[in-house]
């Protein structure tokens, strides 16, 4: 087995945020990175094909090795791996991937004094319109959100975040978009889908109104993936523990995203379509991260607007591979 002393593990490292994190570490001069992922969908290889890493492990093998006591000398773990399909209702599968796996990794890191920075989700808030990192605001609408919330609650109890054995930081991602998400299918960002629709014609599609919002006026906190990665790297450098929202602190409409995509292409019109059966009841029509806790911890970098981030993103989609 490779000597992993002082290396960095990125679980979900061939996925969307994970591969962007690997790339950012490379840009810092780090290539002592172990990527852990599940490549049954082999198309994801493209996300790390241009990255420099020390090793790759299937996540099942990694879990087995953890149980045997391997990887005790790591410098840090960025735990981005999860089932992120919000429409998945196989609760047993979801809880094994997002809860049991995360618990095992948490205990490994705590017992070996390894910093753990992990992906939570704004899905823990559900239909609540207060997005503060407090139990009173946490009301998930689906089993994905519940799996993320349950692990956050477990971290609060076990890691004793006021005095943790080692750094433990959870990141409640809001609507992240940007390069290296093409493998996500229906779970890819609205910007990605609208870009693809304009490549095939002159019209883009958004959902009709819901929860008192007019068509396309539902609001989300859209954050560019590079900004989400920057928070991860800052947390490792700062050593701060806690559970933090990772958004921009401002909501923008789906119409804003569509307008940004149309502006980039210089053409296009918007059609509004009904919600698919069963989706409307579990749909967040409004999100806006309360960023006070992260700012109070010392984070001061600015976040891109939808207009800035979408323009940067779409330029990469049109660049030669």
Task: List, for residues 173-197, the tens digit of each pLDDT value.
Answer: 999 999 999 988 888 999 999 999 9
pTM of the complete model: 0.94
**Residue 280 appears among annotated catalytic residues:** no
pLDDT value at residue 206 = 96
- Of the candidates 27, 20, 43, the one whose C-alpha atom is nearest the C-alpha of residue 35 is 20
* pLDDT at residue number 319: 55
Q: What is the pLDDT of residue 41?
A: 86
| Domain positions in the chain | 8-176+224-249+291-296, 181-220+250-289+305-315
Question: Which entry of 99, 118, 144, 286 is annotated as an active-site residue?
Answer: 144
- Choosing from 93, 103, 165, 184, the catalytic residue is 184
pLDDT tens, position by position, 114-130: 999 999 999 999 888 89
Domain 8-176+224-249+291-296, what fold?
A: Rossmann fold (3.40.50)
Alpha helix ranges (H) inside the chain = 16-27, 59-67, 91-95, 101-111, 143-158, 190-200, 225-238, 254-265, 292-296, 306-317
Instruction: Give DSSP secondary structure letters for 186-226.
Output: GGS-HHHHHHHHHHHSSEEEEE--BTTBPTT--EE-EEEHH
CATH superfamily of 181-220+250-289+305-315: UDP-galactose 4-epimerase, domain 1 (3.90.25.10)
Q: Do domains 8-176+224-249+291-296 and 181-220+250-289+305-315 have the same CATH topology?
A: no
Over pLDDT 90: what percentage of the chain? 81
Q: How far is CA 253 from the centre of its chain?
A: 20
Active site residue 103: no
Q: What span, in angstroms and rounded, lies between the C-alpha atoms of 321 and 46?
A: 10
Q: What is the DSSP letter of 274?
A: P
Residue of 58, 133, 123 whose CA lies nearest to 84: 123
DSSP β-ladder status, 33-37 and 55-58: parallel
HSE at residue 150, side-chain half, CA atoms within 13 A, is: 17
Residue 108 buriedness (CB in 10 A; 0-12 / 13-18 / 19+): buried
């Amino acid at each position: 087995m490779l000597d992993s002393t002082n290396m960095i593990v990125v679980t979900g490292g061939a996925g969307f945020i994970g591969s962007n994190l690997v790339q950012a570490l490379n840009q810092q001069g780090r290539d002592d990175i172990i990527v852990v992922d599940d490549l049954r969908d082999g198309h994801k290889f493209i996300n790390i094909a241009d990255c420099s890493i020390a090793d790759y492990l299937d996540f099942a093998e990694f879990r087995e090795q953890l149980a045997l006591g391997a990887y005790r000398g790591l410098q840090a773990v960025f735990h981005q791996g999860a089932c992120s399909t919000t429409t998945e209702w196989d609760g047993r599968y979801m809880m094994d991937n997002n809860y049991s796996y995360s618990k095992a990794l948490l205990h490994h890191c705590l017992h070996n004094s390894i910093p753990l920075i992990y992906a939570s989700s704004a899905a823990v808030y559900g239909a609540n319109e207060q997005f503060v990192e407090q139990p009173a605001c946490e009301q998930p609408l689906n089993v994905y959100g519940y799996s993320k919330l349950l692990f956050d609650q477990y971290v609060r109890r076990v890691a004793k975040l006021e005095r943790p054995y080692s750094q433990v930081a959870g990141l409640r991602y809001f609507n992240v978009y940007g390069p290296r998400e093409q493998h996500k299918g229906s779970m890819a960002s609205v910007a990605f889908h609208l870009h693809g629709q304009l490549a095939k014609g002159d019209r883009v599609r958004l959902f009709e109104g819901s929860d008192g919002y007019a068509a396309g006026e539902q609001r989300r906190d859209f954050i560019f993936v590079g900004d989400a990665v920057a928070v991860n790297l800052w947390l490792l450098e700062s050593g701060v523990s806690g559970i933090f929202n990772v958004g921009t602190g401002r909501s923008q409409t789906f119409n804003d995203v569509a307008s940004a995509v149309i502006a980039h292409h210089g053409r296009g019109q918007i059609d509004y379509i009904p919600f698919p059966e069963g989706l409307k009841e579990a749909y967040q029509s409004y999100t806006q991260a309360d960023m006070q806790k992260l700012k109070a911890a010392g984070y001061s970098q600015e976040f891109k607007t939808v207009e800035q981030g979408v323009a940067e993103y779409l330029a990469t989609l049109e660049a030669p591979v």
